[in-house]
Amino acid sequence: MEHIYDAAVVGGGIAGFSAALSLKSLGLDFLWLGETEFGEKVKNCEYVRNYPAFTGDGAAFFETLSRQRVREAIPFTKGRIDGIFRMRETFTLSVSPALYTARTVILCTGVDLKGNIKGERELTGRGVSYCAVCDGALYRGKTVAAVLGSRSLLEDVEYLAGLAATVYLFTPLEVALAHKNVHILRDFPRSIEGEGRVNRIVTDRSSYEVDGVFLLREAIPPETLVGGLRTEGAHVPVDRRMATSLPGLFAAGDVTGPPYQFAKAAGEGLVAAHSVKEYLRTVR
Ligand SMILES: Cc1cc2nc3c(=O)[nH]c(=O)nc-3n(C[C@H](O)[C@H](O)[C@H](O)COP(=O)(O)OP(=O)(O)OC[C@H]3O[C@@H](n4cnc5c(N)ncnc54)[C@H](O)[C@@H]3O)c2cc1C
């Protein structure tokens, strides 16, 4: 007979782990699925900021999370979910070639901020950052480049301008900034270079010596995993219970929108787990 879980948690990051921890303490039968345990973002953190009771880099954060997972006996199933389908009262999750069935789903798939500037992937966490609030403080009094792809992230440039000595702002957008240390440039960034750490950004016109590069992009819309789910760009709108437009489907973490921070992801994962418990009580 097919096993039907109370909940399937999709996504191996902090939101997913927090949801799994709470589902376990709530005594529910759940499956936690994802591509990588704790996600790549954890390991890529130069220094984990804004997370209560933890100081250290991404590698140390990963170790702490792994110890907790083992101690709490939370199983993690590796796999890429290629579709989630609602079938009457349950959801079927396709993780080729396997299929899993659950009464509820907590979607914790994050957002993919990576692009294709040469050197970007290799130097992520070594001078390349996607989050001014997370890493800006590392560049106090230094020179940074900001590559701005969306007007909605202009606040991040202002934040950097308040910390760094010089900000080279590469953007095709018309923006107005009062900060004298921000130099707006129309160059097109081609590559980010450095030996082990960022030293320079090379454009179609010139090369600039910098200590860090901030790639300020809106998230790339994720694959539509769930048919019929209401989305807003790259994000899934939720209410305070983390409920989405589909009954029984909840979402948590970066996928619900900014701020993209570990503490928010963890909090939302916990709320989603409690909402699952409440939802199951009402439908059973
Ligand atoms: C370089 C960097 C540094 C950062 N520093 C900080 C910091 O110092 N402090 C802070 O608070 N925040 C920081 N952040 C932000 C933080 O990493 C995110 O807010 C947090 O990771 C969000 O957690 P999440 O679980 O929502 O998503 P993610 O961590 O993105 O996890 C989602 C996971 O779901 C997986 N997934 C997606 N789709 C599928 C699928 N179809 N099948 C299987 N798996 C799937 C992804 O592979 C990923 O592993 C940083 C981010 C970056 C990139």
pLDDT in tens, 48-76: 989 999 999 999 999 999 999 999 999 99
Break the chain down into helix, strand, coil percent, rounded to 5.
25, 30, 45
- Phi/psi of residue 279, nearest 5 degrees: -60, -45
Cα–Cα distance, 83 to 3 (Å, whole number) = 18
Whether residues 228 and 279 share a domain: the answer is yes
Residues 11 and 86 in one domain: yes
Decide if 40 is inside a domain.
Answer: yes
Q: Cα torsion for 90, 74, 131, 254, to the nearest 10°?
A: 10
Please tell me whether residues 108 and 224 are part of one structural domain.
yes
Residue 214 beta carbon below 6 angstroms from any ligand 1 atom: no
At residue 246, does pLDDT exceed 60? yes
State which ligand 1 atom lies nearest to the alpha carbon of 15: 25
Q: Which atom of ligand 1 is nearest to the CA of 254?
A: 26
Q: Which domain holds residue 145?
A: 128-216
Q: Is residue 270 part of a domain?
A: yes
Task: Judge contact between 256 and 13, C-beta under 8 A.
Answer: no
**Which tokens belong to 219?**
């998230």
Ligand 1 contact via 41 beta carbon (within 6 Å): yes
The rounded distance, in Å, linking the Cα atoms of 159 and 217 is: 15
CATH for 195? 3.50.50.60
DSSP state of 281: H
Asked whether 171 and 184 are in contact (CB, 8 A), the reply is yes
Q: Which two tokens stand for residue 2?
A: 């097919």
Do residues 187 and 258 share a domain? Answer: no
User: Per-residue pLDDT tens for 144-180?
Assistant: 999 998 787 899 999 999 999 999 999 988 888 999 9
Please say which residue of 216, 232, 257 terminates a domain. Answer: 216
> Would you state the pLDDT for residue 268?
98
Residues 91, 37 within the same domain: yes
* Ligand 1: centre distance to CA 40 (Å): 7
| 147 closest CA partner among 195, 218, 196 | 218
Q: Which of 201, 216, 231 is a domain's end point?
A: 216
Whether 120 is in a domain gets the answer no
Q: Is 122 within a domain?
A: no
Could you tell me the distance, in angstroms and rounded to a whole number, from the CA of residue 197 to the centre of ligand 1?
22
Query: Is the distance from the beta carbon of residue 170 to the nearest atom of ligand 1 less than 6 Å?
Result: no
Mutational pocket test of ligand 1: of 17, 37, 61, 109, the residue with most ligand atoms within 8 Å of the beta carbon: 109
Is the distance from the beta carbon of residue 18 to the nearest atom of ligand 1 less than 6 Å? no
Tens of pLDDT, residue by residue over 25-41, are 999 999 999 988 998 78
Same domain, 78 and 143: no
Residue 118 lies in a domain: no
Is residue 3 over pLDDT 90? yes
Q: Rounded distance, CA 64 to CA 53, Å?
A: 11
- Report the number of distinct structural domains present in the chain: 2
Closest residue by Cα to atom 48, ligand 1, is 39
- Nearest ligand 1 atom to the CA of 40 is 49
Q: Does residue 237 belong to any structural domain of this protein? A: yes
Number of Cβ within 10 Å of residue 263's Cβ equals: 14
Same domain, 199 and 227: no
Judged against a pLDDT cut of 70, whether residue 132 lies above it is answered with: yes
Ligand 1 atom with least separation from CA of 113: 53
CA atoms of 49 and 92, how far apart (whole Å): 37
Residues 101 and 137 in one domain: no
Ligand 1 contacts CB of residue 94 (under 6 A)? no
- For residue 145, tell me if it sits in a domain: yes
Same domain, 250 and 274: yes
Helices (H), the chain: 14-25, 39-43, 58-71, 132-135, 154-161, 262-283
> Which residues share a beta bridge with 101?
4, 92
Give the mean model confidence (pLDDT) for residues 14-20.
Answer: 98
Last residue of a domain, one of 216, 240, 259: 216
**Is the Cβ–Cβ distance between 157 and 130 less than 8 Å?**
no
CA triple 278-283-284, angle to 5 deg = 100
Q: Are residues 77 and 175 in the same domain?
A: no
Residue in this structure with the two tokens 């095709």, named with its chain if needed: 172
Same domain, 184 and 69: no
Report whether residue 58 contacts ligand 1, using a CB cutoff of 6 Å.
no
Ligand 1 atom closest to the CA of 222, numbered from 1: 38
CB of 96 closer than 6 A to ligand 1? no
The answer to whether position 180 is within a domain reads yes
**Which pLDDT score is estimated for 249?**
96
Shared-domain flag, residues 9 and 108: yes
